[in-house]
Amino acid sequence: MKNRDRKKNYDALADICRLSGVDPEPAMDKLKTLSLSIHCWQADDVTGFEKKSAHAAGRAAISATGGFPGRPKNIRALRRDLEKVFSLIPGRHRLNLHAIYGDFGANPVERDRIGIEHYRSWIEWSRIHCAGLDFNATCFNHLRVRDGYTLSSEDPATRNFWVEHVGRCRKIAAYFGRVLKTPCLHNLWIPDGAKDFTVTRFRHRQLLKESLDRIYARRFPASRIVDSLESKLFGIGSEYYQVGSHEFYLSYALKNGLIPCLDLGHFHPTESVADKISGLLPFFDRLALHISRGVRWDSDHVVILDDDLQNLAAEIVRAGALTRLHLALDFFDASLNRIAAYVIGARAVLKALLIALLQPIEELRALEASGNKGAFLARSESQKNLPWGLVWDHYCRQSGVPTDREWIRDM
């Protein structure tokens, strides 16, 4: 189709939307300002670039299921895949690194010895290819996960090792924020917990608090780093409980000026993370979200445009919180083309936000306030008929990336 015909079709589409009480232009303009944090670990199945001996199966291991060919085996190949991913997603987005993805070359170091020098090449890469860097300490897949515990271990040497690792990661994150002139989100998740019945929950939570106090005693300017804590309900090998529960981290973050990170797969399947947005925003200036898709449990399936994602996006927009939430992807699936996984997931999040931005929110608020519940519900349902898919196609072309049908062929 010629550009002239596309413009004519879009103008007709925009008129339909305006007659329905919404204007697609402001919605697309807001979407352009949003940067997702794209996680590096989908690219290579959470492998990283450490020495192989540093990994230990069963030591709070995280693995991706499936054996699809084409996993990048080195940092050059991983970056090539990430560049392809960024080229297929409308907008300019960030890269989220785990500590195990340092540019270690032939001289890898232990995690309590990593430094800024191992990530300088990522800084130079990011200046060209993305809007900024985020960072995560890597407290899993390691021999120093002692009996399932890291920062809350009874063993002082184990705690010291991980306190040093996280401290170094925060220093690296703050450096990212300084040189790239955009705050780096440093997120902390630990696997600590018990597989079965235990009487030491309180003891381990006391130890975790002591470790966190040591870590966050060092302050960095807010212009350089934002610190978040990621909770979890349970995990493989920690089915009975996790030390870093939602209540524990929420309390610690609120008391110490940090922010909570909510992972969509880290709660009971009947809990709504969308509902938590408005419950937390009155108390936190910012929130972090790890957008995943749990199937029956925290399975980290590729994000798709399902009800949970649309409800989440709708609550973010209704709360006027687009600038207050740090939106990051967090899934890893080795059963399909890994670039496809990235693009499907990132586009699904952007589509959900576009749909939310196309809602006649002010009109719905007025109808709800009037007490006319029938009109409110009818209007809410009628907006679902809008041809948002055509708006999305226009947004993709406007952003210089392929539409849904086109990118599949391109991949």
Q: What is the pLDDT of residue 247?
A: 97
- Checking if the pLDDT of 58 tops 70, the result is no
For residue 205, which of 252, 237, 240, 171 has the smallest C-alpha distance?
A: 252
- Residue 59's pLDDT band, with cuts at 50, 70 and 90, is low
The separation between the first and the last C-alpha atoms of the chain, rounded to the nearest angstrom, is 21
Mean pLDDT score, 200-214: 98
* Neighbour count for residue 369 (Cβ, 10 Å): 9
Average pLDDT over residues 101-117: 95
Whether 331 contacts 301, CB under 8 Å: yes
- Domain ranges for the chain: 1-22+361-411, 35-357
Instruction: Please give the Cα distance from 338 to 333 (Å, whole number).
Output: 7
Structure letter (DSSP) for residue 238: B
Higher pLDDT, 234 or 157: 157
Give dist(CA 400, CA 251) in Å, integer. 44
Six-digit token pair at 179? 């040189």
Catalytically active residues are 189, 230, 232, 263, 266, 290, 298, 300, 330
Flag whether pLDDT at 234 surpasses 70.
Answer: yes
The helix (run of H) or strand (run of E) holding residue 161 is helix 156-180
Amino acid (one-letter) located at 202 = F
pLDDT for 18 equals 86
Task: Give the tokens for residue 10.
Answer: 């879009």
Per-residue confidence at 383, pLDDT binned at 50, 70, 90?
confident
What pLDDT does residue 2 have?
Answer: 61
CB 213 within 8 Å of CB 152: no
**What percent of the chain lies above the pLDDT cut of 90?**
86
d(CA 129, CA 40): 13
Query: Are the C-beta atoms of 96 and 37 separated by less than 8 Å?
Result: yes
The CATH label, of 3.20.20.70, 3.20.20.150, 3.30.70.3040, 3.40.50.620, for the domain at 35-357 is 3.20.20.150
pLDDT of residue 52: 62
Q: What is the pLDDT of residue 408?
A: 86
pLDDT for position 356: 96
| Closest CA relative to residue 216, chosen from 188, 251, 244, 179 | 188
Q: What is the separation of C-alpha 200 from the centre of its chain, rounded to a whole number of angstroms?
A: 31
Q: Say if residue 1's pLDDT is above 60.
A: no
Q: Flag whether pLDDT at 54 surpasses 60.
A: no
The arithmetic mean of pLDDT across residues 171-178, rounded, is: 98
Q: Strand 193-194 and strand 241-242: pairing?
A: antiparallel
More confident residue, 56 or 282: 282
Q: Is the pLDDT of residue 325 over 80?
A: yes
Looking at the predicted structure, is the pLDDT value of residue 56 above 70?
no
Q: Which of 144-148, 149-153, 218-222 has the lowest mean pLDDT?
A: 144-148
Q: For position 128, what pLDDT does the model report?
A: 98
Q: pLDDT at position 411, please?
A: 72
Mean pLDDT value across residues 323-345: 97
